Structure 1
Amino acid sequence: MPLELPSFPPAQQPQIIRSHQRDFFQVSALREQADGVLRAWLGTRWLSRWDKEFELCTKLLYLGLTVGRATQTLGEEYTDIWIHPTHSGGVPAWRARAALVLLPTLPSYMLSRWGSHLPPTSKLTSLVRRLPALLEILSEVNLAVFYFRGTYYDLVKRMLGIRYISATPHDPNTRPPSYSLLGVLLVVRLIHRLVSFIRSSAKADAGGSVELKGKRPVDDHEEIYIDDRPVSIMIGRANSDETLQLTTEEDERTVLDFSQIPPVARGSRNCSLCLDERTATTSTECGHLFCWDCIVGWGREKAECPLCRQSLKLTSLLPIYNL
């Protein structure tokens, strides 16, 4: 008799969800530990400057050592599931594994790192700025479908046709939990976003030809200006070498006469992020003061004040020239 190869059942929703939660925890823990080492060696300002690249390298390292080598991630090992191509079967080909490593990491990095360097009035810039929101909506739609049908938790795996199989046999006497309610909530959220987008578009069209007296008209990109300088360009320059090398005396965005300030008073001007004397002092909506470069770098990663955790918007930062 010919030998029958063992068949494995498809992974259940709880296994897939716990696997992704575990992987997210492991990547966060790896980044936090490496962040502490690099912060101690190279300083907070250097880490803030290269934070995007550091995050990318952390994810590539974790996925490359697991998915790239055709082995389980720690989350998949924890729940005893394996990725399985629906078309070919067996181990995914190296092209599919490379896509599983690069597609979840590189596009978001490129959009966040290079999107602010494009000309603010270009059509390409408008498209690039809308891509993150579009990708987020597609991910939510995919997640809603997963909660209803139980397959393809990740958008990239749906594109590549890669599912999960389980090495644990299903218990026919146990009914798996249903996550349909989460799918319904996501659908409601998507409908709310669609209605909000339609309303905002209608208001923009109605008020597009109206110019407020004494104020700069808002264009299609909703550009915000500070002293006749676009905020998008100021944010794009936050990581430049010239800005990082400026001292307080050379800072053009500070009008203080430092020769008249006693050393004790200058010691109170330190930024709580880089621990150096502030350059281009900037205030958040909650009133805390930081260097412009430091708070912009922080705000790109966490939309909250590093001191009081109040919500933070980069377009709401206020440069202060006399503090």
Structure 2
Amino acid sequence: MASFPPAQQAQIIRANQRDLYHVSALKEQFESVLRTWLGTRWLSRWEKEVDLLVKLVYYGLTTVRATQTLGEEYTDIWQYSSLHRAVPPPALMRATLVLLPTLPGYLVARMDDWLPMHRIPAKWRTTLKQIPSILEVLAELNLAAFYIQGVYYDLVKRVLGIRKVSSTPHNPLVRPPSYSLLGILLGVRLLHRLVTFIRANYVEEQASEKGKLRTQNLGEESFLDERPVSQFLGPVDPEGQPAKPAEEDERTMLDVASIPEELRAGRNCTLCLEERTDSCCTECGHLFCWSCIVGWGREKAECPLCRQALDLKRLVPIYNL
């Protein structure tokens, strides 16, 4: 393409900004019509489909038809296939150029609605949820490379080898602006995100290893706020110890002595039949003494009242009942 010089960075950036503006304006007009006909609730439900349709219509009537988009027409640039050395690129490549940036994002956004996530293995669920973040990082890497090199504004165009050429000859007396500093700043931000990600994973691994060592050293000990449950229980065999008077309960905000007798009668623990001390709540909502329910749970992993499964790690301390 000796007769067509490559498009300058400023032309490509302005063309992209212009296209975004027209897509946004078209979407607003489309939503206004649908809101009038079908209502706001319907529009909120199908917002992602509307966004996909607008992009397919805009780029389908321009790029797929081998014509300039409004942004490209504004800056007078054309798409050029470096693989086929053709302006415009072949029809299949033009269709791919429209579908690849739009369909994957839509499918990822609707993934939770279509896939039965509870039936997918946890490892695959984690991978699927990371797809948007991975695509975002790749797009930023490509943008940083564009600001430094000056070609391939979009990741899809880089993969397909779609460049931009200008039908306006460059002025040799005018030096084009440089955007290398923006590329360097984007690279620094990505490096910071990478360091933060590695550090977070390292901290998580260290916490996991500490948890394993703690479990190995203390058997099946449970922890609450990094403190072993045994510290809350005090004696190893709390059931063999005399009941602690409610007035001596240090783990409550209530002034037990000032509570009327008829109300204190409703504070009895159903296991020890004494007034509750160190009160805690199970997942099913029943209240017991901390030592009583932990002693019970070590023998039988179910609530003594409703027989629902009991997990000692999910007991919640209660300070105001």
Query: TM-score by structure 1 length?
Result: 0.62
Counterpart Cα distance in 2 of 1:200 and 1:112: 26
Q: C-alpha offsets along residues 256-299 of structure 1, whole Å, 9 cap, x if unaligned?
A: xxxxxxxxxxxxxxxxxxxxxxxxxxxxxxxxxxxxxxxxxxxx
Mapped to 2, the partners of 1:85 and 1:40 lie a distance apart of 42
Tell me which residue corresponds to 2:173: 173
Q: Give the counterpart of 2:103 among 106, 124, 127.
A: 106
Instruction: Please give the residue correspondences for 1:239-254 in structure 2 after superposition, counting only pairs within 5 Å.
Output: none
TM superposition shift of 1:203:
1.9
Deviations 1:212-242 (A, max 9, x none): 6389xxxxxxxxxxxxxxxxxxxxxxxxxxx
> Alpha-carbon deviation of 1:207?
2.4
Deviation digits for residues 18-75 of structure 1 (CA, Å, limit 9, x no counterpart):
0000000000111011111111211111111111111110111111000110110000
- Equivalent position of 1:128 in the other structure: 128
How many percent of aligned residue pairs carry the same amino acid?
Answer: 56
Q: 2:61 is paired with a residue of what secondary structure?
A: helix
For residues 212 and 86 of structure 1, the distance between their equivalents in structure 2, rounded to whole angstroms, comes to 62
- 2:204 is the alignment partner of 1:197: no
Give the aligned partner of residue 7 of structure 2: 11
CA–CA separation in structure 1 for the residues paired with 2:149 and 2:64: 28
The equivalences for 1:109-258 within 5 A come to 109-115=106-112, 117-119=115-117, 121-208=121-208, 210=211, 213=224
Deviates more, 1:160-169 or 1:35-44: 35-44
Q: Does the residue aligned with 1:207 lie in a helix, a strand or coil?
A: helix
Corresponding residue for 1:229?
none
Aligned counterpart, 2:275: none
Q: How far 1:89 moved relative to its partner?
A: 1.9
Q: How many residues align?
A: 211
Following TM superposition, by how much is the alpha carbon of 1:206 offset from its aligned partner in structure 2, in angstroms? 2.2
Of residues 47, 53, 56, the one that matches 1:57 is 53
Two-structure CA RMSD over aligned residues (Å)? 1.9
The answer on 1:75 being equivalent to 2:71 is yes
Name the CA distance, whole Å, in 1 between partners of 2:80 and 2:22: 22
Moved over 4 A (4+): 209-212
Residues 199/41 of structure 1: CA separation in 2 closer, same or farther (3 Å cut)? same
Q: What is the distance in 2 between the residues matched to 1:191 and 1:207?
A: 24
Partners of 2:23 and 2:184 in 1: CA distance = 29
Cα separation, 2, equivalents of 1:12 and 1:61: 27
CA separation of 1:200 and 1:118: change in aligned 2, threshold 3 A: farther
Please state how far the C-alpha of 1:202 moved relative to its aligned partner. Answer: 1.4
The answer to whether the 8 A contact 1:83-1:162 is kept is yes
CA distance in 2, matches of 1:185, 1:12: 21
Which structure has the bigger radius of gyration?
2
CA distance in 2, matches of 1:159, 1:67: 17
> Residue 42 of structure 1 is aligned with which of 28, 38, 41?
38
State the TM-score, normalized to the length of structure 2: 0.63
Q: Please list every run of 5 or more consecutive structure 2 residues that lacks an aligned counterpart in the other structure.
A: 212-221, 227-321
1:303-322 equivalent positions in 2, closer than 5 A:
none
Question: Structure 1 residues 208, 106: closer, same or farther in 2, change over 3 A?
Answer: same
8 Å contact 1:115–1:128 — kept in the other structure?
Answer: no
Equivalent-residue separation in structure 2 for 1:37 and 1:149 (angstroms): 42
Instruction: Please state how far the C-alpha of 1:205 moved relative to its aligned partner.
Output: 1.4
Tell me how far apart the structure 2 counterparts of residues 72 and 187 of structure 1 sit (CA, whole Å).
Answer: 32
> Mean alpha-carbon deviation: is it higher for 110-119 or for 89-98?
110-119
